[in-house]
Amino acid sequence: MAENVVIVGAVAVGAKAACRFKRLRQDANVTIIDKDELISYGGCGIPFYVAGDVSDETELRSTSFHMVRDEKFFLNDKGVVAMTGTEVTKIDRSNKKVHIKKSSGEEVDISYDKLVLATGSVPRKLDMPGTSLKNVFNVSNLRDAIAIKKKITQGEVEKAVIIGAGFIGLEMAQALADMWEIETTVIEYFDQVMPGFVSHSISLMAQRCMEKNGVSFHLEEIVQALEGDEYVAAVKTNKRTLPADMVIMSVGIVPNTILAKETGIDTGPGGHIIVNDRMQTSDPDIYSGGDCVVIKNLVTGKPAYIPLGSMANRQGRVIGTNLAGGDARFKGGVGSFVVKIFEKSLAGAGLTIDVARKEGFDAVSIQVAQFDRAHFYPEKEIIYLELVVDRKTRTVLGIQGWGGEGSEMVGRINAVVPLITNKARVEDVSNLEIAYSPPFASAMDIVNALGNTTENFLDGMYKPMQMDEFVECWESRDNGECFFLDCRADADAIPFQEKFPEIWKSIPHDELERRFDEVPRDKKIILLCNTGIRSYEAQINLAAHGIEDTVSVESGISGLKDCGMEF
Amino acid sequence: MAENVVIVGAVAVGAKAACRFKRLRQDANVTIIDKDELISYGGCGIPFYVAGDVSDETELRSTSFHMVRDEKFFLNDKGVVAMTGTEVTKIDRSNKKVHIKKSSGEEVDISYDKLVLATGSVPRKLDMPGTSLKNVFNVSNLRDAIAIKKKITQGEVEKAVIIGAGFIGLEMAQALADMWEIETTVIEYFDQVMPGFVSHSISLMAQRCMEKNGVSFHLEEIVQALEGDEYVAAVKTNKRTLPADMVIMSVGIVPNTILAKETGIDTGPGGHIIVNDRMQTSDPDIYSGGDCVVIKNLVTGKPAYIPLGSMANRQGRVIGTNLAGGDARFKGGVGSFVVKIFEKSLAGAGLTIDVARKEGFDAVSIQVAQFDRAHFYPEKEIIYLELVVDRKTRTVLGIQGWGGEGSEMVGRINAVVPLITNKARVEDVSNLEIAYSPPFASAMDIVNALGNTTENFLDGMYKPMQMDEFVECWESRDNGECFFLDCRADADAIPFQEKFPEIWKSIPHDELERRFDEVPRDKKIILLCNTGIRSYEAQINLAAHGIEDTVSVESGISGLKDCGMEF
């Protein structure tokens, strides 16, 4: 067992590993080294600090009992020596030493029995002019956050441009637009927000919600330069030039593994440190975790980069246990996430349909819309869930969703995560035991309905039309190939019928059995209702009468409207 | 495959099985028979209807698109014949017929190919005088609910007594006390509310919350008679007589299986119908589900009675599939539940510590307290989770919790359910992937902290004191055997030290390392902090200095206070 543990990096994984190890080995020495003076902070809290929800940066580096986690705290409360403002410049593995350089300029060697590399990540850099202009920021550490907030609170920012529509980009956009009423525009290279994390239709729901709250978006747009003298004044893309007095770069992060590479530890193609399930690197005396490593994706079995504070914390504990001679394992992850979008939330886990297909799965996805609580309960809202499954094996590959004002969405995603991890089948989603009481769920909860609906699709009973297909179909509606059959009550459907008399017809579902004659047999029938329940039943009824060329629009009019569709 | 399906009972499982079967077999005939005219209602919504959250009883039997589920709805929308006001008086299995009696008095036989018994449950009756008095109600069906609400809205109820502190009892107590300001008292035979569902300390948190909101409780009390002429006027127990102008009996339900027994279908010791995992009874042409059957408890492997609307719905779909020649399975359940207690919630799944021990497990339970969101996020509250595990195998047997104003608690319980179902180990709770973002969780979420803490206990690193033990210890504090060491900041701890100078001492955790001399070595040290984190660390620090006779109070001062403890 180790007597001297040295840890490089003192934000999430490093601090956790240090404290866990010290609790297990009160007699041992632990030193954590960080080049910054601000350590052990909750990086995921930065957007909330910028927004003003968190009033002071010290809160992000305090304990729940309001002690600031500084050198003194680590020493007195944890028995851990923290050396801040100190850079590790070299690792000498043969002599088991690290070479450090203090802010004072002093350089010394420190010996270790076991070493932990918790060097985290650095912002991905875009290769274009102007990134060094003033008022161009990353959101990679607490100093960036403090600088951004200072600019804002001084009233120096009127127009902000955010480059990148991932987690951080969306959270920062909200922070600026909502709390500070800054004119905020997000530019994204891909054709949707949260690319790789949710499907196109779910991304649209999040985007529309943000637009309603004042954030502008330009998708499929390439930023070519940041313009200005000294201070940034505009963002030039391949399509336009946007004035901006602040630019936030949130185009992702890359692992900070220079030290690891220099000392010859195995890294992968992306530069990430490779670790086993004990979080050990290729050098058994050196552990690593957090934003600088790849872990195992439990869906694909391949290496995955999941740089999240929660992953780092759990890995840190595993490292701490193993440093003390234990045998803890970190099996990997499925990349579950949640992001608050104004009053709603976007969450998911596992693979999206696009990623699943790229990974070689014969994947299909099914989306359903349903109230988050019993439909008779006064407080409720329609939320959306999408399941990604492998067609042949019926294995669950991923789940994503939109909606809910509290933990409704993330709670459901979390409940399905163990199923994804265990390679469960769609039937397990149908029968998943979701605790029921009207203020919390439906008797047949949306999670179960999602499983049921996916089963129905796989069994050939249900032929859905997805949002993208509907939009395409709607745009070419004048070609006379499709007919829109609205299964809602007349009060909802008649206005559509009156507006589009040639192609749209109201036949409430409970009248369908006696009005089959009114359904055209020479056209593709696009069945619609509010969320997709009645249109699904209508599809079955029509099939029994020999009308087979039908589709039922997934998530119904409700889903289309939440995707921004206007009729 | 069946051509004629007859279903006895049209509330949850019956209606679901009928509709699912009909969707799969549009050519077949399905008849659902119910002796009541009010069918297919959400029984779990009754307390919310009584409270006034749901304004009209028709909402409980309407679809999400506001159609009342009556005979006409089933026929036109579902293609299912519903015969209401019709009693099935006999099943003739040899001729595959049921004998029915309509409300008109007409009696006929109906043939079936497959039969479904969805006869539900009836209220458990207490054998005592006065249960037939007027204004004594059960909450077993919609008619009871309508009658109760009518009495209340007519202003006829000033003092209500509720007998039984299970789900329904607590929900009804809230409905009466909160919305209608009725003086409400709950009487319970056992020594806690929600007996069998949560531990004593968690039950106390729920009880104290209800008391603060005006509901009174008498526990460990036996109701001996309901008194009054014509109308109930008082409830007599073994300890007192309580005036009451309304009494609600919520002492549980028993399966309604007279028909099944008469026709010779296998039932268990409690009278429940026995089914296999296809929901088939001992007669392969007869299926059953919902409140009249036992299913498999996936923790114990034994039969379990889980009469919940959600179970019924999922079973109904399995039955519908199998009626149509499919092969759907219902594997069982772990009994997850949630109940709203004013603005907070109580939830759980699997076994409580008491039940686990009764079932023969060498079970232990660990409780933790932590914020439901990142501690630096402005909206958050301390919630409590308790894990029940088998000591030797480290298998997770159950989880229960208290707190949270929305879906925070139930979301976490749901996330652990698949682990309980899969007989996962405590380490899987420690590493469970809970989606992280500060408005939804902590980086090391309470679920993970619960796993970690339980591991620490099993590994001998952590010696907790539970609430009941603390109370006992506190009550005998004058015997001089114990010393209370408060690890919080002075500002919190000094008032206690001043009040109890002989036995209580404030040594903030960050000062402990240099103040060991002040810790008495001849007494048992009871370590406290706000939630149990600092006291746990202090325990480790003390052990390293040879002070081993210590305990760390589980959930800390926060937990004790929420259990109603006053110092």
Distance of alpha carbon A487 from alpha carbon A493, whole angstroms: 8
Let me know whether B364 and B318 are in one domain: no
Average pLDDT over residues B323-334: 97
Give how far B564 is from chain A: nearest CA, Å.
22
**Structural domain boundaries, residue B495:** 464-562
Q: Number of residue pairs across A and B with CB atoms under 8 Å?
A: 291
Domain final position from A323, A346, A374: A323
CB atoms A415 and B411 under 8 Å? yes
Give the Cα separation of A7 and A4 in Å (integer). 10
State the total domains in chain A. 4
- HSE, CB side, 13 Å, CA atoms: give it for residue B485: 30
* Main-chain phi, psi angles of A100, to 5 degrees: -120, 155
At residue A136, the 3 state secondary structure works out as strand
| A113 in a structural domain | yes
Average pLDDT estimate for A140-166: 95
Tell me the Cα Rg of chain A. Answer: 27
Long-range contacts of A451-459 (CB under 8 A, 24+ apart): A451/A387, A451/A426, A451/A427, A452/B317, A453/A366, A453/A368, A453/A536, A454/A364, A454/A366, A454/A387, A454/A389, A454/A426, A454/A429, A455/A426, A455/A427, A455/A430, A456/A536, A457/A364, A457/A366, A458/A364, A458/A389, A458/A391, A458/A394, A458/A426
Residue A140 in this model has a pLDDT that exceeds 90: no
Nearest CB neighbour to B376, from listed A16, A62, A345 = A62
ipTM of model: 0.97
CB B50 within 8 Å of CB B152? yes
| pLDDT mean over A24-39 | 96
In a domain, B177, yes or no: yes
Q: How many residues are listed for chain A in this entry?
A: 567
A-chain residues within 8 Å CB-CB of B24?
461
Q: How far is CA B71 from CA A46, B109, B112, B316, B368, in A?
A: 57, 20, 20, 19, 51
Q: Is it the case that residue B312 has pLDDT exceeding 90? A: yes
Kindly identify which residue of chain B lies nearest to residue A510, measuring between CA atoms. B77
Q: Tell me the shortest Cα–Cα distance from A432 to chain B, in angstroms.
A: 8
pLDDT tens column, A158-177: 999 999 999 999 999 999 99
Q: What band does B1 get if pLDDT is binned at 50, 70 and 90?
A: low
* DSSP secondary structure letter of residue B59: H
User: Which pLDDT belongs to residue A2?
Assistant: 61
Indicate if the pLDDT at residue B379 is higher than 70.
yes
Mean pLDDT of A460-471: 97
Same domain, residue pair B264 and B224: no
| Residue A331 covered by a domain | no
Q: How many residues does chain B have?
A: 567
Check whether residue B118 and residue B258 sit in a common domain. Answer: yes
Same domain, B50 and B151: no
pLDDT 10s digits, A179-234:
899 999 999 999 999 999 999 999 999 999 999 999 999 999 999 999 999 999 99
Rounded CA-CA distance A80/A95 in Å is 23
Average per-residue pLDDT for chain A: 97
Residue B432 with chain A: CB contacts under 8 Å: 417-418
In a mutational test of the A interface, the residue from B437, B490, B531, B542 whose CB has the highest number of chain A CBs within 10 Å is B437
Both tokens assigned to A564: 């921004």
Residues of chain B positioned with their CB less than 8 A from the CB of A64: 370-371, 375, 531, 533
Please judge whether A436 and B406 are an interchain contact, meaning their C-beta atoms are less than 8 angstroms apart: no
Regarding whether A372 and A452 lie in a shared domain, the answer is yes
Write down which residue in A197, A224, A251 finishes a domain. Answer: A251
pLDDT at B272 over 80: yes
Domain end marker among A296, A323, A350: A323
Per-residue pLDDT at A341 exceeds 70? yes
**Cα B312 from chain centre:** 16
Across the interface, which of B318, B376, B422 has its CB nearest the CB of A59? B376
Same domain? For A77 and A23 the reply is: yes
For B330, which residue in chain A has the nearest alpha carbon?
A: A431
**CA nearest neighbour of B240 among B185, B312, B196:** B185
Q: Give the helix/strand (H/E) hosting A557.
A: helix A556-562
Which H or E run contains B353?
helix B353-358
Residue B296 and residue B395 in one domain:
no
At residue B170, the pLDDT reads 98
- Whether B164 is covered by a domain: the verdict is yes
Q: For residue A130, is it within any domain?
A: no
Verify that A243 and A268 share a domain, yes or no: no
Q: Is residue B14 part of a domain?
A: yes
Q: What are the start-end ranges of the E strands in B93-228? A: 97-102, 107-111, 114-117, 121-123, 136-138, 159-163, 183-187, 215-218, 223-227
Same-domain status, A349 and A393: yes
**For residue A1, pLDDT beyond 60:** no
Q: Is A186 found in the same domain as A111? A: no
Tell me the nearest-neighbour CA distance from A228 into chain B, angstroms: 35
Give A-chain residues touching B73 at CB under 8 angstroms: 510
Our CA angle for B134, B136, B142, nearest 5°, is: 105
Contacts of A546 (CB under 8 A, 6+ apart): none
A141 against A512, higher pLDDT: A512
Measured between CA atoms, the residue of chain A closest to residue B372 is: A407
Residue among A170, A178, A376, A529 with most chain B CBs within 10 A, to mutate: A376
- DSSP code for A90: E
Which helix (H) or strand (E) covers residue B464, if one does? strand B464-465
A567: amino acid identity, one letter: F
Looking at residue A463, what is its pLDDT?
A: 98
Query: Same domain, yes or no, for B115 and B261?
Result: yes
Can you give the pLDDT at residue B75? 97
With CA atoms as reference, report the closest residue to B201 among B354, B337, B396. B354
DSSP code of residue B361: -
CA dist., res. A371 & res. A405, Å (int): 12
The pLDDT, as a whole number, for residue B308 is 92
CATH at residue A86: 3.50.50.60
The confidence band for A33, taking pLDDT boundaries of 50, 70 and 90, is very high
Reported as a single tens digit per residue, the pLDDT across B199-214 is 999 999 999 999 999 9
Q: What is the pLDDT of residue B140?
A: 87
- pLDDT, one tens digit per residue, over B497-523 is 999 999 999 999 999 999 999 999 999
Residue B33 lies in a domain: yes
B292 and B230 belong to one structural domain: no
> Which one of B436, B448, B510, B537 would you mutate to disrupt binding with A, by most A Cβ within 10 Å of its Cβ?
B436
Beta bridge partners of A344: A341
d(CA B25, CA B32): 15
Residue B329 in domain: no
pTM above 0.95, yes or no: yes
Find all residues with CB under 8 Å of A2, minimum gap 6, and list them.
Answer: A21, A25, A28, A113, A114, A323, A324
Neighbours of A325 (CB within 10 A): 11
- Round to whole Å and give the CA distance between B255 and B124: 9
- Residues A535 and A466 sit within 8 Å (Cβ to Cβ): no
Residue A110 parent element (H or E) = strand A107-111
Residue of A nearest to B537 (CA): A23
CA dist., res. A379 & res. A438, Å (int):
10
Quote the minimal CA–CA distance from B297 to chain A in Å: 12
d(CA B161, CA B566): 28
Under an 8 A CB cutoff, do B414 and A437 touch? no
Q: What DSSP string describes B164-200?
A: --SHHHHHHHHIIIIIS--EEEEE-SSSSSSTTTS-H
**What's the whole-number average pLDDT of chain B?**
97
Contact between residue A397 and residue A476 where contact means Cβ atoms under 8 Å apart: no
Question: Phi and psi (nearest 5°) for B275?
Answer: -130, 155
Calpha distance A431→A448 (Å, rounded): 6
CATH for A556:
3.40.250.10
**Residue bearing tokens 């000294």:** A230
Chain B nearest-CA distance from A225, in A, is: 32
